[in-house]
Structure formats: C-alpha cells, structure tokens
Amino acid sequence: MDHYQTLGLNRRASKEEIKEAFRKSALKFHPDRHSHSSDEVREGASLRFKRASEAYQVLIDDKKRADYDFRLRSAGSARWSGRRAPHSSSSSYGYYRPPRAPASEFDAKIAFRWLMRRQTLIQLAAAGALLGAYIVMENSLEKVWKRNNAGKSFEEIMETINKGKSHKDSSSK
C-alpha cells in the first residue's frame, strides 16, 4: 500500500497538502457517513478510512515519513531488479519492509550509518585521545628510565633497590 497514492498525493507534498488530502478522504470515507449503506459499502469505506488514517499518521510525522520514504525507495529497487517484494503484514506502517541481512553478512550501509552518528564519533575521538595519551606516557616513562639508569642492567638496578630497602629497614629499628 502506497500512502501517497492512498491520499492522492505526490512524493513532495507539503504538510498542508497532506492535512487537506486526509480531511477530504476522511469526510468521504468516514464510517459515520456510511452507517445506512449496505454492509459491503460500509466495510469498503471503513477500510479506506483506516488506510487514509494510517497514511496520514505516517506522512505527517517527519521521522516516520523519512523512514517510510527510505523503505519505499528500497522496495522500489527490488521492483526494478525483477524480484517481487513480499508484503509483510507485521510491518508497523503497512508498507514493504526489506528483509534483514543474516547476521553473518556485513552490511556496509548500516556500519557507515553507525560510524557517522555523533555519539559514535565522540566516543571514537575520546578513545583515540586516551590511546594517544597512553602511548605518550609509555614512551616518556621509558625515556626517563633510560636517562636515569644509563649503562646499568636490570639486575644491577634491582640490587640497588634491595640495598636501599635493607638499609632503610636497619635504620628504622
């Protein structure tokens, strides 16, 4: 079901055009207007009214509309490739929801979208800063160690430390 077709709109319709198209459709197909009609006509009008209401709810909300347009374009690519897009009744907006890739496949679009989120970029920058600080500190400590202990082996330094400890212990008694 195409929400734009349901309301008789083009894809670039403004919010005012959407509201007006829904108002006209609601007046035409509202169940109260068809309360005295035959069951067949009443059910048809009720169905059209529900579709118009659903289309209005999706198209009037900017976030839902952007999501719907994205999915509509994705479904359109399936039409052009010769594959038939199955209609999912579990879809929350009543339109085609492309099948998800299995977990074993890498989806570059999803990864790129995740990487370009502001929160992800801030976290990556913080992680990079911490890693850089760690590397600088590690190199600095190594250079200070070499400067203070030039020409001595590790064993000689450990002996000096142990002598200092034993000397400190004997003087404190």
For residues 62 and 43, what is the distance between their CA atoms, to the nearest angstrom?
30
Report if residue 110 sits inside a domain: no
Residues 51 and 95 in one domain: yes
| pLDDT, position 58 | 92
Report if residue 104 sits inside a domain: no
| pLDDT, position 102 | 59
Q: Over the Cα atoms of the chain, what is R_g?
A: 34
DSSP string, 27-46: HHH-GGGGTTS-HHHHHHHH
Residue 91: give its domain's CATH number: 1.10.287.110
| pLDDT, position 81 | 47
| pLDDT, position 103 | 59
Structure confidence at residue 173 as a pLDDT band (50, 70, 90): low
Residues 52 and 81 in one domain: yes
| pLDDT, position 96 | 55
149-152-158-161 Cα dihedral, nearest 10 degrees: -50
In the chain, how many domains are there? 2
If you average pLDDT over residues 164-172, what whole number do you get?
76
Please identify which residue in the block is written with the tokens 């879809």: 91
* 110-160 pLDDT per residue, tens: 888 878 888 888 888 999 999 999 999 988 888 887 787 777 777 888 888
| pLDDT, position 21 | 92
Phi, psi of 33 (to 5 degrees): -70, -25
Residues 82 and 130 in one domain: no
| pLDDT, position 16 | 93
| pLDDT, position 147 | 81
**Range(s) of the domain holding residue 154:** 119-172
Residues 87 and 37 in one domain: yes
- What H or E segment, with its residue span, contains residue 12? none
Residues 94 and 15 in one domain: yes
* 66-107 pLDDT per residue, tens: 888 888 887 765 554 444 444 444 444 555 555 665 556 677
Residues 76 and 131 in one domain: no
Residues 95 and 123 in one domain: no
For residues 25 and 34, what is the distance between their CA atoms, to the nearest angstrom?
13
Q: Which of 168, 4, 131 is nearest to 71 (CA)?
A: 4
| pLDDT, position 77 | 57
